[in-house]
Amino acid sequence: MSSEHMQIGEVAARTELSLRTIRHYEETGLVIPSARSQGGFRLYTEDDVARLMVIRRMKPLGFTLDQMRDLLDATDRLDSGEELAADEREALLERVRGYEQDAAEQVEKLRTQLARAEEFAATLRERLTRVPAL
């Protein structure tokens, strides 16, 4: 077994995803392990880990599994090295741009939520300092 292949436990440690989550993404076809060991264990490559990291970053932003699949399909085709017609390449890039814009909007919403949460925590801290000592 070459060092470039990893078993699921190492992948889970590297991606900070649970074994169950990784298996779920495998069942839904988002990440298919590239190989199997002689003992039948799934083996993952750096590319598989990179795909899982894309998924891990998309999930908290509210993207669906179908959207994840769509983005991964677009980036797979752009990265495949195959000759793409100019209009097909532009359509793929446009799909990726759409996800980038959606992600940027989600980041702005999260920044607003974070600012409000920090204000609230500060208000509570300030309130606690006004409690008279016994």
pLDDT tens sequence across 96-121? 999 999 999 999 999 999 999 999 99
131: DSSP letter: S
Q: Is 120 exposed, middle or buried (0-12, 13-18, 19+ CB in 10 A)?
A: exposed
Residues of the chain with pLDDT > 90: what percent?
82
Q: Is 77 exposed, middle or buried (0-12, 13-18, 19+ CB in 10 A)?
A: middle
Measure the CA angle with vertex 118, ends 112 and 120; round to 5°.
105
Nearest to 53 by CA among 20, 94, 25: 25
- Note if the pTM is more than 0.95: no
Residue 44, beta-bridge partner list: 6
**pLDDT-derived band at 72, boundaries 50, 70, 90:** very high
Helix, strand, coil percentages (3-state) for the chain, rounded to 5, are: 70, 5, 25
Tell me, what's the pLDDT at 35?
A: 83
Q: Which phi and psi angles does 65 have, rounded to 5°?
A: -60, -40
**Is pLDDT at 88 greater than 50 in this prediction?**
yes
